[in-house]
Amino acid sequence: MDEQNPKLKPVEADIARLFARFDTVTDSLETWIDEMQPDMMIRSKDVPPMVRVARTRVVSGKMDELKALFRDQIVPAVKKSGASDYGAAVARFGTPANEIHSYLGLNGWADLDGSFGVEKGMSAAEFKAFQAKLQPLIESTEWSMWKFQPELSYVPAPK
């Protein structure tokens, strides 16, 4: 908040208290700026109750091959799986440039009891062949689970 915004004048003290509070309860902070890939998205009008987020580190020089794998195999398989929300983004700032971030909407923890996402949208043989193509392109993947909390979220009114 380097620039002064005259519209914020009435709430400046509240903002200062908020950031002072954040400073006392924050151990670390990481900011990412990603470029969403519209051709790698499945969107519903509703916010999914949960999402599984993947942070995948791509082998140097293999980003184009991985993006092609997303377009040709991952997104079609996720669509076939019946997922209502999926997306992928390429890291632009805040994380290494060789990262791709993706998310998959879930209805809840029970979705994890069986196959879901790519694995659900492929046969066993197709999934095994897919994994063989994927492994040489990535260094690692870290998954996180996020639960939507409407009372803590800003959700814009529908247009």
Element (H, E) at 23: helix 12-25
Can you tell me the distance from the alpha carbon of 87 to that of 103, in angstroms, rounded to the nearest whole number?
5
Q: Where are the alpha helices (DSSP H) in 42-154?
A: 63-69, 75-81, 117-120, 124-134
∠ Cα 63 68 72 (to 5°): 155
Cα dihedral sign, 46-31-97-62: negative
pLDDT confidence of residue 4: 73
Give residue 3's pLDDT. Answer: 64
Nearest Cα to Cα of residue 104 among 69, 135, 154, 70: 70
User: pLDDT tens digit string along 92-116?
Assistant: 998 888 999 999 999 999 999 999 9
The phi and psi torsions of 77 (rounded to 5 degrees) equal -70, -40
DSSP state of 70: I
Q: Show the domains of the chain with their CATH numbers.
A: 32-148 (3.30.70.100)
Q: List, for residues 47-101, the tens digit of each pLDDT value.
A: 899 999 999 999 999 999 999 999 999 999 999 999 999 999 998 998 888 999 9
